[in-house]
Amino acid sequence: MTTLLALAAGVLFTVGTYQLLGRDLLRIAFGIYLLFNGVNVLILAMGTVSGREAPFAQLPGPYVDPLVQAFALTAIVIGFGLATFLLLVAARLAATQVSLDAEAAREWHR
Amino acid sequence: MILPWLLVVPLGGVLVQLLAWSAPQLQARLALVTCTASLVLSASLTATGGAPPYAVSGWPVPVGIALQADPLSCLMLLLTGSVLTAAAAYQLGGPAHPSNPVYHLAFPLLLLALNGLFVTGDVFNFYVFFELVAVTSYLLVSQGAHHALEAAWKYSAQSVFGSVLLLVGVVLLYGIGGTLAFTDLAKALDGPAWPAAPFLLVAFLLKGALFPFHFWQPDAHAAATTAGSMILAGVMINVGLYGLYRFWPLIGGGELGRVVVAVGAASLVFGAAAAWTQGDAKRLLGFSSISQLGFPLVALGWGSVAALTAGLYFLIVHAVAKTLLFATTGLLADRVGSTRLRALLGAGSGRIGMATAYLLGVLSLAGLPPLAGLLAKIGLLHAAVAESKWWLASLILLGSLMTLGYGLRGFQLLFWLPPALREPWTVPRMVQVVIAGLGAVLVALTLAAGPVWRFCGQAALALYPQGGWP
């Protein structure tokens, strides 16, 4: 299970980083969202998922680490909020200059 | 019991300002009141010598959240309070008034986030507050000049990448140490947590806009409003350095120290060289920040308590001086309607007060005797010579000399050229107070250098009770 999570996190990081390197503003925003989801998987992997019970008092232990799941929840919300913000700025930029290209934004600046 | 109020007061400020949504002038006033209240709270906290850990709503530490204030936190809280108060006062009394209510809301929100960042006792809340600081500062940058949106995009995209790295670092720290509180982590780790180190290092260097990660900073400075630039230079980039100083006991060690010294030295030289060639008054100051923050970074990489003390002292001096420089330059730019040096030639000529303030800021940064920056640089030079690291000593001297060069170039272009034909204008009363107040703080940092230096020493010693990292 840990190997699977590590692989998933690795794929998400790779694809996210690749998307960051382009010039398309939308792709950059989505790349960052993929990166955040890669971190979420990494957070879950910290909590030793396989072979443990959900942290309910009715179930017999040993439990997974509940703190890690609280992190993941917080990180999902923050990542989603930031991705939304980036998309919003990208949309505003596109509306003012009719392009989603980073180089075009630079020309417009001068 | 001051600690929780540092968060409650700004939060109350946010709520009250939401009620005054449609009255921007009232909002600006409320922002100033909130920032001043926080400054007073921070000052009384510092006067009582910090605060022991405070468990939020009575839950003990492994379960609940702890707030704490050691001397380093007090130092940063005082700095934040002063800079934000100055910026809010400029916003209220200065010439440019963006009437967007969201912009005024940024002041108490930022205060809440920064106070939380400096008093939090665990690494995950550090991340959450760090994120809150970042989002609020995007707000500040995006409200400025016509190209502000593009600068805000550049800033936010790079900074969000930094927060991803910070989150990875924090989670890895938890995975290795098994706990979140800074104090418990230091005990739980045996030796530096090297897997987390590169992530945290890059995240903080991005936030601090140090040399290889500086791209966003000059643009953000040039695009932001004057108050926004003051906050960016006075607090925001120092957050990166604060993070490094705070996390260094957990991640720092031999090889990483050398990397940090190299990055700091590169920043020092590159920033100064780039500042010399700028054609924009605010970008000149922005590149200058890249160069100046190299000093505290080199001090951190060095590791002895003497060097850390000098680094922290210089961090404070730089923050106040740069806020002052942005206030004077920003006022001229707001008057003329451009930040280009070509448009600003001689714009401040004949303005003795502003010229003195600008010169005071530049000379403090360059470390001209007897001004404040000199003491920090003597401290660093002393440490360098004591360990016979001559190349580092000469680098520090070179950096100071270049500071003097580009600083005086800016001074000459803004204040020493014959004035272009312009209608007479007066500096608003509130802005006079801001500039005079920041200048007075700089002079006070020189006159009261002994106590301030000792306090910085306490802050460094609280991080490294054994007298420096090995």
The per-residue pLDDT for range B24-50, each reduced to its tens digit, is 888 888 999 999 999 999 999 888 877
Our CA-based measurement puts residue B329 at a distance from the nearest CA of chain A, in whole angstroms, of 21
Q: How many CA atoms lie within 13 A of A4 on its CB side?
A: 5
H/E element holding A31? helix A25-46
What is the distance between the alpha carbons of residues B301 and B245, in angstroms, rounded to a whole number?
A: 10
**What local confidence, expressed as pLDDT, does residue A109 receive?**
47
Is the pLDDT assigned to residue A19 strictly greater than 70? yes
Give the mean model confidence (pLDDT) for residues B380-409.
Answer: 86
B157 close contact with A: CB closer than 8 A: yes
Whole-number Å distance between alpha carbons of B327 and B322: 8
The three-class DSSP label of residue A50 is coil
Interface contact A71-B168, CB threshold 8 A = no
**Can you tell me the mean pLDDT for A51-79?**
82
Instruction: Tell me if B168 and A39 make a contact (CB, 8 A cut-off).
Output: yes
Confidence grade of residue B132 (pLDDT, cut at 50, 70, 90):
very high
Category of B426 on φ-ψ map: left (φ > 0), alpha (ψ -120 to 50) or beta: beta
Sequence letter at residue B269: V
B334 touches chain A (CB under 8 A): no
Please give the pLDDT value at position B439: 93
Q: Does B153 touch chain A (CB under 8 A)?
A: yes
- Nearest 10 degrees: Cα torsion B74, B78, B81, B86: -170
pLDDT of residue B328: 92
Q: How confident is the model over A44-71, as a mean pLDDT?
A: 77
| Interatomic CA distance for residues A42 and A10, integer angstroms | 9
Binning pLDDT at 50, 70 and 90, where does residue B468 land?
low
Determine the residue of chain B that is closest to A47 in CA distance.
Answer: B175
> What pLDDT is attached to residue B131?
92
Tens of pLDDT, residue by residue over B244-253, are 999 988 887 7
Q: Provide the chain A residues 37-96 that lie in CB contact (below 8 A) with chain B.
A: 39, 42-43, 46, 67-68, 71, 74-75, 78, 81-82, 85-86, 89-90, 92-93, 96
Which residues on chain A are in Cβ contact (under 8 Å) with B161? Answer: 20, 32, 35
Contact yes or no for B153 and A75 at CB 8 A? no
Q: Which of A39, A82, A86 sits opposite B171 (nearest CB)?
A: A39
Q: DSSP assignment, residue A81?
A: H
pLDDT in tens, A32-45: 999 999 999 998 88
- Which residues are CB-contacts of B31 (< 8 A; sequence separation ≥ 6)? B13, B17, B88, B91, B92, B104, B107, B108
Separation in Å, CA of B263 to nearest CA in chain A: 23
- As a whole number of angstroms, the distance between CA B366 and CA B360 comes to 10
pLDDT of residue A110: 44
Task: Give the pLDDT score at A99.
Answer: 64
End-to-end CA distance of chain A: 52
pLDDT surpasses 80 at A61 = no
Buried b / exposed e over B113-142, threshold 16 CB at 10 Å, is bbbbbbbbbbbbbbbbbbbbbbbbbbbbbb
- Residues 10..39 of A with a Cβ closer than 8 Å to B: which? 20, 25, 28-29, 32, 35-36, 39
Which residues from B are below 8 Å from A35, CB to CB? 161, 164
Helix B305-336 vs helix B71-93: crossing angle, to nearest 10:
10
Residue B423: is it exposed, middle or buried by C-beta count within 10 angstroms (0-12/13-18/19+)? exposed
Highest-scoring range by mean pLDDT, B90-99, B261-270, B295-304:
B261-270
From chain B, pick out residues whose CB is under 8 angstroms from the CB of A31. Answer: none
Give the closest residue to B353 by CA, choosing from B462, B439, B232, B259. B439
The nearest CA of chain A is from the CA of B188 a distance in Å of 17
Residue B77: exposed, middle, or buried by beta-carbon count in 10 A (0-12, 13-18, 19+)?
buried
A50 phi-psi bin (left φ>0, alpha ψ -120 to 50, beta other): beta
A100–B contact, CB cutoff 8 A: no
pLDDT tens by residue, B287-331? 999 999 999 998 888 878 888 888 999 999 999 999 999 999 988
Say if CB B291 and CB B270 are below 8 A apart. Answer: yes
Flag whether residue B184 sits within 8 Å of chain A, measured between CB atoms: no
What pTM was computed for the model?
Answer: 0.92
Shortest CA distance from B134: residue in chain A: A82
Best residue in B149, B154, B155, B199 for a mutation probing chain A (most A CBs within 10 Å):
B149
What pLDDT band is residue B145 in, cutting at 50, 70 and 90?
low
Q: Which residue of A has its CA nearest to B130?
A: A78
Per-residue confidence (pLDDT) for residue B388, from 0 to 100? 75
| SS3 readout for B180-217 | CEHHHHHHHCCCCCCCCHHHHHHHHHHHHCCHHHCCHH
Of the two residues A101 and B13, the one the predictor is more confident about is B13
- Is any Cβ of chain A less than 8 angstroms from the Cβ of B163? yes
